[in-house]
Amino acid sequence: MKKIKETKKRVTAAILAAALALSLTACGNGGNAASSNDANSGSSAEDTANEAAGSQENGDDAGSDAPAEENKERVTLKYATFRVGAHVMAPSEAEILRLAKEKFKDEFDIEVEEIPSDSTYIDKMKVLAASNDLPDIIEGKSGLFEIALQGNLAVPLTKYFEEDPEWRAAIGEANIAFNTRDGEIWSAGLSGDSAVGYYYNKELFAKAGIEPAKTWDEFFSNCDKLKEAGITPLSLATGEVAYSSNLFLAAAIGTSSPEGYEFMTSLSKHNDFNRPEVIKGIEIVKRLLQEYTTQDAVGAVYANISNNFYMEKTAMIPNGPWMIPDFSNPEKAPEGFYDKVGVALFPNNGMVVGSDYGALVTAKGSDAQIEAAVKFLKFLSGEEAQKIRLEMGSVPPLSPNVTPSPEFIESNPLFADLLALQGEAEYKCYDMSFVSPSNFSSEWKTLYPELVYDRITPEEFALKLNDIAARSHE
Amino acid sequence: MYKKNKLQILLYILPTLLLAAIIYGISVITLVGTSFTEWYIGSSPRFIGLDNYIEMFTGRNDFYKAFWNMVIWIGMQCVIHVSIGLLFALILSKQEWYWKIARTVYMIPNIISGAAVGMLFIFILNPEYGAVNNIIRAIGFKDFSVNWFMDYNTAFFSVTMMWLPYAAVPSLLFLAEIFSIDRALYESARIDGATDLQINLYVVIPLLKNTIGTAVILAATGMIQKLDIIMVTTGGGPGNETINLPMYIYKSALMDNNFGYANALGTFLIIFGISIIFTIRLIFKVGQSDM
């Protein structure tokens, strides 16, 4: 009896162990088998695409009698966006996505992943590029364009542009040329060339008795007068990708000399920053960060510094037209704030501009998946979406057919002022992300503190930039 | 008997072996293998021998700073963090009226994710509106302003304070072990006239030797993996002041797109981690009976 019991125990234990081993094997396979519409699922779209591809292949091979349409799995596109939450372009993005889902509801699904900031988006896309698991459409900003091309992760769009002259016209030849490499078009711009100067608080300027500066000397003099009036002159940040600090750096380099202008208008990625014009620009930004900004500038993020400007703690903030809607957003700025804001060029008639790398199709798998991704990209970059970005986000359009309505211009004089300044600007320089390798984006936030706390000189800062450029593989 | 059960034993450990082989074995082999290659996104790995290791030890890079920061944090975590946990456990073991609530409250920082803790500290230590600076200003230092995470004088300290004092895990381990000690030992010590301090020093702590070893291993390995909280707060800066090896690996792989070099760093980290665990086990003779 005892022996039987013991044998039973052993058999049960052995069966359980075998079951556990089998379940582990099953776990490893489950990801592929599972079909999910979960918006947060990292693999669902890929799975669906693979299934679609698989079923298509099987259908062809087997010579199935069933109509091809019945065998097709519904395509699900993965799309990630950082224009969410408090992002200045969140409302326009939400509207565009709502319309896209409505338009394509009978053709394919769109899964949207919300990523909380630009820098997080860039980091995450780099991670996904490394594991060949990018969403079906990604943006090309901050080096993602080059990474996608290097990794053979992008779908060339030339034939789609050739087949659709309307789309080509909506994007425009200038942007198409900007996003063409080796004779292939790789991405479609989402917005026209951005024009970036700085916004200033007219009341605070009046209190200090100043007008927007024409030269860098005058600019520093203005900053001193603001300080004397008890006002912190500038909103600057070195956190995230240090965008605001780098706008001043780009303007300072680009307006310093003909060499500086040439440096900041070249689209090639530089690897030598140890130049007098760059060092001079670094000196200017160092002075601004040390003497004329808030205590939290080093390490601060956009949310901090924009809030300082809205709350009238600072008198100036550099940024693009997409910030304009927030000046009248009651959730961000006090009532009547919009009327207090003016816009100006950087000293020496400088403006920072940027062509848009736009978005690339990085879909893989079946033709159906890629076709769906291209359709979605056409919508994202098309005239309807451009119009929404313009009217809701003050983003300049690409297409000449998309013009601001008279009501928009009337209710948005700042945007009109900015457009006028664009015509007046003598030096239009690219921002730093256009002239530096993509690995710079994560280094600014650790480099600037060294400069501000006098651990390194501007010359050493430039040499460190060279070191970072040397580590790049673009 | 042993021979008879060999097959059965093998069957029992088979799932674990399979799991280890699938999840860790293949990954580690790939990691070590590609550490001898030049490998970027879009390129196939190209064998370059020991170049990545030579670059690691002799190149102009952040390796030594990242390594020493990690070693300092491991040392602090093993000594200070575990000591705080031990002290807390000894106090709670008296089972005064507050012990249950104190145990629960102390656990809270450990159940919040590292990223959330990082965000919390970013707000608390913000130079403009953060609680710490404002409290210091409120008590009379009106012009006080320190950028805790970005100032060279305070960055390392600020990052360290995000994890060093919160020793709930070791304190729970110690508490469980203390409660399992035979009460007769306490009684005997008291009969011999020992004070509470003497009982703790000469009876309790020696009996916790194995658990202390385990807690030290957990503390050290926790520091070897530390990444999220640094990434959220300082990103390794200012400069390279708060960088550690995991952060350096992350930057090398995903920012510099240099996977071969990052995998050489990863291989070094694994070897270092295993060495640390064996050293701690040797020091504390973990697993050997005290009786």
Q: Which domains does chain B have, with CATH numbers?
A: 63-245 (1.10.3720.10)
Give contacts of A308 with chain B, Cβ < 8 Å. 128
What is the pLDDT of chain B when averaged over all its residues? 91
Over 60: is that where the pLDDT of B139 sits? Answer: yes
pLDDT in tens, A47-65: 433 443 333 333 333 334 4
Chain B residue with the nearest C-alpha to that of A148: B42
Say yes or no for a CB contact (<8 Å) between B22 and A473: no
Residue ranges in chain A whose pLDDT is less than 50? 20-70
Say yes or no for a CB contact (<8 Å) between B255 and A473: no
The HSE-up count of residue B209 (CA atoms within 13 Å, CB side) is: 15
Give contacts of B255 with chain A, Cβ < 8 Å. 123, 126, 439, 441-443
Say yes or no for a CB contact (<8 Å) between B255 and A295: no
Give start and end residues of each alpha helix (H) in A34-79.
Answer: 44-62, 68-71
Mutate to test the interface with B, among A9, A181, A308, A442 (most CBs of B within 10 A): A442
Give contacts of B19 with chain A, Cβ < 8 Å. 24
Q: A with B: how many residue pairs have Cβ under 8 Å apart? A: 112
Q: Which residues pair with A2 in a beta bridge?
A: none
Rounded to 10°, the helix A276-291/A258-265 angle is: 90
CA distances to A48, A63, B94 from A68, rounded to whole Å, are 17, 10, 75
pLDDT in tens, B57-97: 998 779 999 999 999 999 999 999 999 999 999 999 988 88
Query: Does residue A250 sit at the B interface (CB-CB below 8 Å)?
Result: no
Mutate to test the interface with B, among A123, A289, A473, A474 (most CBs of B within 10 A): A473
Query: Are B18 and A24 within 8 A, CB to CB?
Result: yes
Q: Between A442 and B250, whose confidence is greater?
A: B250
Chain B residue with the nearest C-alpha to that of A301: B122
What pLDDT shows up at residue A107?
Answer: 93
Alpha-carbon distance B76 to A313, whole Å? 41
Alpha-carbon distance A438 to nearest alpha carbon in chain B (angstroms): 8
Write down the pTM of the prediction. 0.80
Say yes or no for a CB contact (<8 Å) between A24 and B8: no
Give contacts of B151 with chain A, Cβ < 8 Å. 298, 449, 453
Instruction: Delineate the domains of chain A, giving CATH numbers in brackets.
Output: 75-192+357-393 (3.40.190.10), 194-354+411-471 (3.40.190.10)
Query: Are B119 and B232 within 8 A, CB to CB?
Result: yes
Average pLDDT over residues B33-41: 91
What pLDDT shows up at residue A86?
Answer: 79
Alpha-carbon distance B216 to nearest alpha carbon in chain A (angstroms): 32
Average pLDDT over residues B229-255: 92
CA distances to A7, A22, A25, B7 from A19, rounded to whole Å, are 18, 5, 10, 16
Q: Which residues pair with A359 in a beta bridge?
A: A139, A188
Over 60: is that where the pLDDT of B1 sits? Answer: no
pLDDT in tens, B160-191: 999 999 999 999 999 999 999 999 999 999 99
- Provide residues of B within 8 Å CB-CB of chain A: 8, 11-12, 14-15, 18-19, 22, 40-43, 60, 126-129, 145, 147, 149-152, 234-240, 251, 253-259
Evaluate whether ipTM surpasses 0.90: no
Out of B22, B237, B253, name the one closest to residue A449 (CB): B237
Q: Which of A391, A342, A359 is nearest to A148 (CA)?
A: A359
Q: 3-state class of B177 per DSSP?
A: helix
Give contacts of A311 with chain B, Cβ < 8 Å. none
Alpha-carbon distance B269 to B246, whole Å? 8
What pLDDT shows up at residue B5?
Answer: 81
Over 50: is that where the pLDDT of B98 sits? Answer: yes
Say yes or no for a CB contact (<8 Å) between B126 and A455: no
Interface of A with B in 369-408 (CB under 8 A): none
Say yes or no for a CB contact (<8 Å) between B255 and A304: no
Query: Does residue A123 sit at the B interface (CB-CB below 8 Å)?
Result: yes
